[in-house]
Structures are given as structure tokens and as C-alpha cells.
């Protein structure tokens, strides 16, 4: 993981990805391996792979706030407000005291569901 984080810091995403592939093969139950690889995928513009790894991280640790944050970031980047709203809502179930998330849920809910007449 240290090598992968170092490579990420040097913007050597291919090297980081190669290292993180090894991490998830060697330790498939290590949530942070999936989460970090998702981050690298996001930085490389490989959004679908990022989403898949974030969901893998969440299947291992359903309370992983960083993975929820990552999902929200990817979906927001893709302008997929429906799934961004879902990511925020899932995060709030884990931690209902996330102030910014509550605000974003309200905003996204209006965009996704529309305003009441």
C-alpha cells in the first residue's frame, strides 16, 4: 500500500494501479485496497471501474464513509444525480450527522424528484 500511495503522489497512476491489483489479489478482504484502487481508477478517468471497486469496498465494510464519498464524487462527476443522491443517502444511514450530506441530499432530491407544485 505504501508503494501505491507513493506512486499516486507522484502521479504515476499506472504503477499505483499495478501495485493495487496485487493488493486486492493477495488480500481480497482488505477494504482499503479496493478503495485506493477505486481512487486511482477515478484519477485515470476510468469511472465504471472506480464504481465497481467502491461497491466491492462497501460490500466488505458497509460503513466505509470514504467509499461513500468516492461514489458520490464519481457520480457527481458523471452528472448522475440519481446515483449521487443514493450515495449520500447511504452515507447518512451510516452517519446521520454529516451536515454537508444533508444539504446535498435536499438539493439533489429537488433535482432528481422535482419540486412540488
Query: What residues does each domain of the chain span?
Result: 1-45, 62-117
Q: What is the pLDDT of residues 4-53, one digit of tens each?
A: 999 999 999 999 999 999 999 999 999 999 999 999 999 999 999 999 99
Confidence of residue 95 (pLDDT cuts 50, 70, 90): confident
Give how far the C-alpha of residue 41 lies from the chain's centroid of Cα atoms, to the nearest Å: 10
Higher per-residue confidence, 33 vs 95: 33
Helices marked H in 10-114: 13-26, 31-43, 47-60, 65-77, 81-94, 99-113
Average pLDDT of 71-89? 91
**pTM flag (> 0.75):** yes
Rounded Cα–Cα distance for residues 102 and 82 (Å):
15
Inform me whether the pLDDT recorded for 117 exceeds 50.
Answer: no
Report how far residue 14's alpha carbon sits from residue 41's, in angstroms, rounded to the nearest whole number.
10
Cα separation, 107 vs 78, whole angstroms? 17
Give the burial string for 26-56 (b: 16+ CB within 10 Å, else e). Answer: eeeebbbbbbbbbbbbbeeebbebbbebbeb
115: confidence class by pLDDT, cuts 50, 70, 90 = low
CA distance 109 to 115: 9
Q: Taking phi first (over 0 means left), then psi (-120 to 50 degrees means alpha), and beta for anything else, what does residue 80 get?
A: beta
In the predicted model, is pLDDT for residue 99 greater than 80? Answer: no
Residue 116 predicted with pLDDT over 70? no
Amino acid at each position: 500500500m505504501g508503494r501505491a500511495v507513493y506512486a499516486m503522489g507522484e502521479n504515476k497512476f499506472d504503477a499505483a494501479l499495478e501495485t493495487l491489483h496485487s493488493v486486492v489479489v493477495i488480500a481480497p478482504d482488505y477494504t482499503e485496497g479496493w478503495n485506493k484502487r477505486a481512487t486511482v481508477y477515478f484519477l485515470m478517468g476510468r469511472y465504471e471501474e472506480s464504481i465497481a471497486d467502491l461497491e466491492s469496498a462497501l460490500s466488505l465494510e458497509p460503513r466505509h464513509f470514504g467509499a461513500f464519498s468516492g461514489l458520490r464524487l464519481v457520480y457527481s462527476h458523471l452528472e448522475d444525480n440519481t446515483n449521487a443522491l443514493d450515495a449520500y443517502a447511504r452515507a447518512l444511514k451510516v452517519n446521520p450527522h454529516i451536515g454537508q450530506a444533508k444539504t446535498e441530499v435536499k438539493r439533489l432530491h429537488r433535482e432528481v424528484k422535482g419540486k412540488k407544485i
